[in-house]
Chain A
Amino acid sequence: MSQSDHHIVSSQTYMKILVTLLILTVITVAASRVDFGFMNTVVAMLIATVKATFVLAVFMHLKYDNLINRAIFGTGIFFLLVLFVFSITDIFTRYSQTPQ
Protein backbone atom coordinates (compact mmCIF):
# COMPACT_ATOMS: atom_id res chain seq x y z
CA MET A 1 0.00 0.00 0.00
CA SER A 2 1.40 3.37 -0.95
CA GLN A 3 0.17 6.84 -0.14
CA SER A 4 -1.56 6.88 -3.51
CA ASP A 5 -3.97 4.32 -2.05
CA HIS A 6 -5.05 6.74 0.69
CA HIS A 7 -8.72 7.50 0.75
CA ILE A 8 -9.18 10.80 -1.08
CA VAL A 9 -12.24 12.63 0.18
CA SER A 10 -13.98 14.43 -2.68
CA SER A 11 -14.14 18.23 -2.65
CA GLN A 12 -17.95 17.96 -2.83
CA THR A 13 -17.94 16.08 0.49
CA TYR A 14 -15.73 18.75 2.08
CA MET A 15 -18.10 21.47 0.82
CA LYS A 16 -21.13 19.62 2.21
CA ILE A 17 -19.43 19.32 5.60
CA LEU A 18 -18.55 23.05 5.62
CA VAL A 19 -22.16 24.03 4.82
CA THR A 20 -23.43 21.64 7.52
CA LEU A 21 -21.05 23.15 10.08
CA LEU A 22 -22.15 26.70 9.18
CA ILE A 23 -25.84 25.74 9.48
CA LEU A 24 -25.15 24.13 12.86
CA THR A 25 -23.45 27.37 13.98
CA VAL A 26 -26.65 29.29 13.14
CA ILE A 27 -28.65 26.66 15.06
CA THR A 28 -26.29 27.07 18.06
CA VAL A 29 -26.94 30.83 18.17
CA ALA A 30 -30.70 30.36 17.63
CA ALA A 31 -30.95 27.70 20.36
CA SER A 32 -29.21 30.02 22.84
CA ARG A 33 -32.08 32.53 22.38
CA VAL A 34 -34.66 29.99 23.56
CA ASP A 35 -34.88 29.51 27.31
CA PHE A 36 -34.48 25.82 28.12
CA GLY A 37 -33.34 26.62 31.68
CA PHE A 38 -30.29 24.60 32.66
CA MET A 39 -30.77 22.56 29.47
CA ASN A 40 -29.39 25.46 27.40
CA THR A 41 -25.81 24.44 28.16
CA VAL A 42 -26.63 20.79 27.46
CA VAL A 43 -28.22 21.67 24.09
CA ALA A 44 -25.24 23.90 23.16
CA MET A 45 -22.77 21.13 24.06
CA LEU A 46 -24.77 18.54 22.11
CA ILE A 47 -24.73 20.71 18.96
CA ALA A 48 -21.01 21.39 19.49
CA THR A 49 -20.39 17.65 19.75
CA VAL A 50 -22.27 17.02 16.50
CA LYS A 51 -20.06 19.68 14.84
CA ALA A 52 -16.93 18.18 16.39
CA THR A 53 -17.91 14.74 15.10
CA PHE A 54 -18.14 16.05 11.52
CA VAL A 55 -14.73 17.74 11.84
CA LEU A 56 -13.13 14.60 13.32
CA ALA A 57 -14.73 12.12 10.91
CA VAL A 58 -14.24 13.96 7.62
CA PHE A 59 -11.78 16.89 7.94
CA MET A 60 -9.48 14.84 10.19
CA HIS A 61 -10.14 11.65 8.19
CA LEU A 62 -10.85 9.60 11.30
CA LYS A 63 -13.72 7.89 9.45
CA TYR A 64 -11.23 6.51 6.93
CA ASP A 65 -8.29 6.10 9.31
CA ASN A 66 -6.84 2.92 10.76
CA LEU A 67 -8.00 1.43 14.06
CA ILE A 68 -4.98 2.51 16.09
CA ASN A 69 -5.52 6.24 15.48
CA ARG A 70 -9.21 5.92 16.33
CA ALA A 71 -8.26 3.99 19.47
CA ILE A 72 -5.73 6.68 20.47
CA PHE A 73 -8.36 9.39 20.08
CA GLY A 74 -10.98 7.30 21.90
CA THR A 75 -8.60 6.70 24.81
CA GLY A 76 -8.01 10.46 25.18
CA ILE A 77 -11.76 11.15 25.22
CA PHE A 78 -12.35 8.27 27.65
CA PHE A 79 -9.93 9.66 30.22
CA LEU A 80 -11.33 13.16 29.74
CA LEU A 81 -14.78 11.73 30.55
CA VAL A 82 -13.40 9.97 33.65
CA LEU A 83 -12.02 13.30 34.89
CA PHE A 84 -15.26 15.09 34.00
CA VAL A 85 -17.71 12.57 35.51
CA PHE A 86 -15.90 12.22 38.82
CA SER A 87 -15.35 15.97 39.23
CA ILE A 88 -18.95 16.82 38.37
CA THR A 89 -20.34 14.04 40.57
CA ASP A 90 -18.32 15.42 43.45
CA ILE A 91 -19.52 19.00 42.90
CA PHE A 92 -23.18 18.10 42.38
CA THR A 93 -23.36 15.89 45.46
CA ARG A 94 -21.91 18.65 47.64
CA TYR A 95 -23.69 21.68 46.12
CA SER A 96 -26.96 20.18 44.90
CA GLN A 97 -29.11 21.55 47.75
CA THR A 98 -28.03 25.18 47.94
CA PRO A 99 -25.72 26.31 45.16
CA GLN A 100 -23.76 29.28 46.37
Chain B
Amino acid sequence: MSTVNTDAHGHAHAHHFESAEQEYLASKQGIWLFLCTEILMFGGLFVAYAIYKTIYPEVFVAGSKFVDWRMGATNTVVLLVSSWTMAMAIHSIQVNKIKAAGNYLMATIICGFGFMIIKYFEYSHKIHLGLVPSKYFSYTGEMVTNGKLYFGFYYVMTGLHGIHVLAGMGLIFWVWLRNRRGDFGPHRYTAVEGVGLFWHLVDLIWIYLFPLFYLV
Protein backbone atom coordinates (compact mmCIF):
# COMPACT_ATOMS: atom_id res chain seq x y z
CA MET B 1 0.00 0.00 0.00
CA SER B 2 0.91 3.60 -0.30
CA THR B 3 1.87 6.27 2.17
CA VAL B 4 -0.77 8.45 3.81
CA ASN B 5 -1.00 11.13 1.16
CA THR B 6 -0.32 9.17 -1.97
CA ASP B 7 -2.60 6.64 -3.63
CA ALA B 8 -1.78 3.58 -5.70
CA HIS B 9 -1.19 5.81 -8.72
CA GLY B 10 1.25 8.00 -6.84
CA HIS B 11 -1.03 11.07 -6.88
CA ALA B 12 -0.93 13.38 -3.89
CA HIS B 13 -4.17 14.04 -2.03
CA ALA B 14 -5.36 15.33 1.35
CA HIS B 15 -4.96 12.76 4.12
CA HIS B 16 -8.68 12.44 4.88
CA PHE B 17 -9.32 10.99 1.41
CA GLU B 18 -8.59 7.42 0.41
CA SER B 19 -7.33 8.34 -3.02
CA ALA B 20 -6.88 11.27 -5.39
CA GLU B 21 -9.89 9.95 -7.29
CA GLN B 22 -12.08 10.08 -4.19
CA GLU B 23 -10.88 13.61 -3.51
CA TYR B 24 -11.73 14.62 -7.09
CA LEU B 25 -15.22 13.11 -6.87
CA ALA B 26 -15.90 14.74 -3.49
CA SER B 27 -14.77 18.14 -4.79
CA LYS B 28 -16.95 17.85 -7.87
CA GLN B 29 -19.92 16.79 -5.76
CA GLY B 30 -19.38 19.87 -3.63
CA ILE B 31 -19.40 22.05 -6.74
CA TRP B 32 -22.71 20.50 -7.86
CA LEU B 33 -24.24 21.22 -4.45
CA PHE B 34 -23.06 24.82 -4.78
CA LEU B 35 -24.50 25.03 -8.30
CA CYS B 36 -27.87 23.92 -6.85
CA THR B 37 -27.84 26.88 -4.48
CA GLU B 38 -27.08 29.09 -7.49
CA ILE B 39 -29.96 27.59 -9.49
CA LEU B 40 -32.34 28.19 -6.58
CA MET B 41 -31.10 31.78 -6.05
CA PHE B 42 -31.64 32.69 -9.72
CA GLY B 43 -34.74 30.46 -9.70
CA GLY B 44 -36.42 32.70 -7.13
CA LEU B 45 -35.85 35.67 -9.44
CA PHE B 46 -37.19 33.75 -12.45
CA VAL B 47 -40.35 32.88 -10.49
CA ALA B 48 -40.75 36.55 -9.49
CA TYR B 49 -40.35 37.48 -13.17
CA ALA B 50 -43.03 34.94 -14.16
CA ILE B 51 -45.47 36.33 -11.59
CA TYR B 52 -45.06 39.98 -12.60
CA LYS B 53 -45.00 39.12 -16.30
CA THR B 54 -48.38 37.42 -15.76
CA ILE B 55 -49.87 40.41 -13.94
CA TYR B 56 -48.29 43.20 -16.05
CA PRO B 57 -47.46 41.72 -19.48
CA GLU B 58 -47.57 45.18 -21.15
CA VAL B 59 -44.80 46.46 -18.87
CA PHE B 60 -42.39 43.78 -20.10
CA VAL B 61 -43.31 44.31 -23.75
CA ALA B 62 -42.77 48.08 -23.36
CA GLY B 63 -39.53 47.66 -21.40
CA SER B 64 -38.02 45.28 -23.94
CA LYS B 65 -38.33 48.05 -26.58
CA PHE B 66 -35.48 49.80 -24.75
CA VAL B 67 -33.02 46.93 -25.05
CA ASP B 68 -31.30 46.05 -28.30
CA TRP B 69 -31.81 42.38 -29.14
CA ARG B 70 -28.69 42.50 -31.36
CA MET B 71 -26.54 43.28 -28.32
CA GLY B 72 -28.24 40.50 -26.37
CA ALA B 73 -27.79 38.06 -29.25
CA THR B 74 -24.11 39.02 -29.61
CA ASN B 75 -23.60 38.41 -25.91
CA THR B 76 -25.36 35.05 -26.21
CA VAL B 77 -22.93 34.03 -28.97
CA VAL B 78 -19.97 35.33 -26.93
CA LEU B 79 -20.98 33.29 -23.87
CA LEU B 80 -21.72 30.13 -25.89
CA VAL B 81 -18.28 30.37 -27.53
CA SER B 82 -16.70 30.94 -24.10
CA SER B 83 -18.42 27.79 -22.80
CA TRP B 84 -16.93 25.90 -25.71
CA THR B 85 -13.40 27.27 -25.07
CA MET B 86 -13.80 26.31 -21.38
CA ALA B 87 -14.82 22.76 -22.32
CA MET B 88 -11.89 22.60 -24.76
CA ALA B 89 -9.50 23.77 -22.01
CA ILE B 90 -10.44 20.75 -19.89
CA HIS B 91 -10.29 18.48 -22.92
CA SER B 92 -6.76 19.79 -23.65
CA ILE B 93 -5.60 19.07 -20.09
CA GLN B 94 -7.11 15.57 -20.28
CA VAL B 95 -5.04 14.82 -23.38
CA ASN B 96 -1.98 16.53 -21.84
CA LYS B 97 -1.90 19.59 -24.12
CA ILE B 98 -1.15 21.97 -21.27
CA LYS B 99 -0.15 24.95 -23.42
CA ALA B 100 -3.30 24.69 -25.55
CA ALA B 101 -5.33 24.51 -22.33
CA GLY B 102 -3.79 27.81 -21.21
CA ASN B 103 -4.73 29.41 -24.53
CA TYR B 104 -8.32 28.15 -24.28
CA LEU B 105 -8.56 29.47 -20.72
CA MET B 106 -7.27 32.87 -21.84
CA ALA B 107 -9.75 32.87 -24.74
CA THR B 108 -12.52 32.23 -22.22
CA ILE B 109 -11.41 35.22 -20.13
CA ILE B 110 -11.33 37.41 -23.27
CA CYS B 111 -14.90 36.32 -24.09
CA GLY B 112 -15.86 37.31 -20.53
CA PHE B 113 -14.34 40.77 -21.13
CA GLY B 114 -16.26 41.03 -24.42
CA PHE B 115 -19.48 40.20 -22.63
CA MET B 116 -18.89 42.79 -19.88
CA ILE B 117 -17.91 45.51 -22.39
CA ILE B 118 -21.17 45.02 -24.32
CA LYS B 119 -23.06 45.02 -21.00
CA TYR B 120 -21.31 48.27 -20.08
CA PHE B 121 -22.54 49.95 -23.28
CA GLU B 122 -26.06 48.68 -22.67
CA TYR B 123 -26.14 49.84 -19.04
CA SER B 124 -24.59 53.25 -19.65
CA HIS B 125 -27.04 53.95 -22.49
CA LYS B 126 -30.02 53.15 -20.25
CA ILE B 127 -28.65 55.00 -17.22
CA HIS B 128 -28.08 58.02 -19.46
CA LEU B 129 -31.78 57.95 -20.44
CA GLY B 130 -32.82 57.67 -16.79
CA LEU B 131 -34.05 54.11 -17.27
CA VAL B 132 -33.04 52.97 -13.80
CA PRO B 133 -35.03 51.05 -11.19
CA SER B 134 -37.44 52.23 -8.53
CA LYS B 135 -37.35 55.82 -7.22
CA TYR B 136 -34.30 56.71 -9.34
CA PHE B 137 -36.33 56.21 -12.53
CA SER B 138 -36.21 59.55 -14.36
CA TYR B 139 -37.08 58.72 -17.96
CA THR B 140 -39.26 61.50 -19.36
CA GLY B 141 -40.38 59.95 -22.68
CA GLU B 142 -43.44 57.85 -23.44
CA MET B 143 -43.79 54.99 -20.99
CA VAL B 144 -46.56 52.66 -19.87
CA THR B 145 -47.76 52.79 -16.25
CA ASN B 146 -45.37 50.93 -13.93
CA GLY B 147 -42.84 50.80 -16.79
CA LYS B 148 -39.96 51.02 -14.35
CA LEU B 149 -40.85 47.55 -13.05
CA TYR B 150 -39.16 46.02 -16.10
CA PHE B 151 -35.92 47.81 -15.29
CA GLY B 152 -35.97 46.59 -11.70
CA PHE B 153 -36.00 43.01 -12.99
CA TYR B 154 -33.57 43.82 -15.79
CA TYR B 155 -30.87 45.30 -13.55
CA VAL B 156 -31.22 42.81 -10.68
CA MET B 157 -31.20 39.71 -12.90
CA THR B 158 -28.62 40.76 -15.50
CA GLY B 159 -26.61 42.52 -12.76
CA LEU B 160 -26.44 39.41 -10.57
CA HIS B 161 -25.53 37.46 -13.69
CA GLY B 162 -22.85 40.04 -14.57
CA ILE B 163 -21.31 39.68 -11.09
CA HIS B 164 -21.15 35.94 -11.75
CA VAL B 165 -19.39 36.57 -15.06
CA LEU B 166 -16.80 38.76 -13.27
CA ALA B 167 -16.33 36.13 -10.54
CA GLY B 168 -15.97 33.43 -13.20
CA MET B 169 -13.36 35.48 -15.04
CA GLY B 170 -11.37 35.85 -11.81
CA LEU B 171 -11.58 32.12 -11.13
CA ILE B 172 -10.54 31.24 -14.69
CA PHE B 173 -7.56 33.61 -14.34
CA TRP B 174 -6.64 31.77 -11.14
CA VAL B 175 -6.66 28.36 -12.87
CA TRP B 176 -4.84 29.91 -15.87
CA LEU B 177 -2.03 30.97 -13.51
CA ARG B 178 -1.97 27.56 -11.84
CA ASN B 179 -1.95 25.88 -15.25
CA ARG B 180 1.02 28.01 -16.30
CA ARG B 181 2.77 26.96 -13.09
CA GLY B 182 2.30 23.31 -14.12
CA ASP B 183 -0.23 22.39 -11.43
CA PHE B 184 -2.48 20.46 -13.79
CA GLY B 185 -2.13 17.31 -15.84
CA PRO B 186 -4.31 14.54 -17.28
CA HIS B 187 -4.62 13.03 -13.79
CA ARG B 188 -5.12 16.20 -11.78
CA TYR B 189 -7.35 19.02 -12.92
CA THR B 190 -10.00 19.20 -10.18
CA ALA B 191 -9.87 23.01 -9.91
CA VAL B 192 -10.28 23.49 -13.68
CA GLU B 193 -13.25 21.10 -13.72
CA GLY B 194 -14.93 22.97 -10.82
CA VAL B 195 -14.36 26.42 -12.31
CA GLY B 196 -15.55 25.08 -15.67
CA LEU B 197 -18.81 23.83 -14.16
CA PHE B 198 -19.39 27.27 -12.61
CA TRP B 199 -18.70 29.01 -15.92
CA HIS B 200 -21.12 26.74 -17.81
CA LEU B 201 -23.82 27.50 -15.24
CA VAL B 202 -23.33 31.23 -15.85
CA ASP B 203 -23.79 30.53 -19.58
CA LEU B 204 -26.86 28.44 -18.80
CA ILE B 205 -28.54 31.26 -16.88
CA TRP B 206 -27.89 33.70 -19.74
CA ILE B 207 -29.57 31.23 -22.15
CA TYR B 208 -32.79 31.94 -20.21
CA LEU B 209 -32.17 35.66 -19.55
CA PHE B 210 -31.71 36.50 -23.24
CA PRO B 211 -35.25 35.60 -24.47
CA LEU B 212 -36.89 36.83 -21.23
CA PHE B 213 -35.51 40.38 -21.51
CA TYR B 214 -34.63 40.93 -25.17
CA LEU B 215 -37.28 38.97 -27.08
CA VAL B 216 -40.47 39.65 -25.11
Query: Which A residues are closer than 8 A to B by beta carbons?
Result: 1-4, 6, 8-11, 14-15, 17-18, 21-22, 25, 28-29, 32, 41, 44-45, 47-48, 51-52, 55-56, 58-60, 65-66, 68-69, 72-73, 75-77, 79-80, 83-84, 87-88, 91-92, 95, 99-100
Complex interface: chain B residues within 8 A of A21 (CB)? 80, 83
Residue in contact with B47 in the complex, picked from A9, A52, A87, CB distance below 8 Å: A87
Residue in contact with B50 in the complex, picked from A6, A51, A79, A88, CB distance below 8 Å: A88
7 pairs, A vs B, C-beta closer than 8 Å: A3-B189, A10-B91, A14-B88, A52-B204, A52-B208, A55-B200, A95-B54
Residue in contact with A11 in the complex, picked from B9, B81, B88, B188, CB distance below 8 Å: B88
User: Given that A3-B189, A73-B35, A87-B51 are contacting pairs, would A56 and B204 also be in contact in the complex, using a CB cutoff of 8 Å?
Assistant: yes
B117 at the interface (CB under 8 A from A): no
Residue in contact with A2 in the complex, picked from B73, B187, B215, CB distance below 8 Å: B187
Residue in contact with A45 in the complex, picked from B55, B86, B208, CB distance below 8 Å: B208
Query: Which B residues are closer than 8 A to A by beta carbons?
Result: 9, 11, 20-21, 24-25, 28-29, 32-33, 35-36, 39-40, 43-44, 46-47, 50-51, 53-55, 57, 69, 73, 76-77, 80-81, 83-84, 86-88, 91, 94-95, 186-189, 196-197, 200-201, 203-204, 207-208, 210-212, 215-216
Complex interface: chain A residues within 8 A of B32 (CB)? 69, 72-73
What 10 A-B pairs are tightest by C-beta distance, nearest first? A76-B36, A32-B215, A44-B211, A80-B43, A18-B84, A3-B187, A72-B32, A69-B32, A76-B39, A59-B87
**CB–CB A91/B51 < 8 A:** yes
Main SS of chain A's interface residues?
helix
Complex interface: chain A residues within 8 A of B210 (CB)? 25, 28, 48
Complex interface: chain B residues within 8 A of A95 (CB)? 54-55
**CB–CB B208/A18 < 8 A:** no
Complex interface: chain B residues within 8 A of A58 (CB)? 87
Determine the distance from Cα of A58 to Cα of B34 in the docked complex, in whole angstroms. 19
Determine the distance from Cα of A60 to Cα of B216 in the docked complex, in whole angstroms. 29
User: Given that A69-B32, A91-B51 are contacting pairs, would A3 and B24 also be in contact in the complex, using a CB cutoff of 8 Å?
Assistant: yes
Residue in contact with A99 in the complex, picked from B24, B55, B197, CB distance below 8 Å: B55
**CB–CB B189/A25 < 8 A:** no
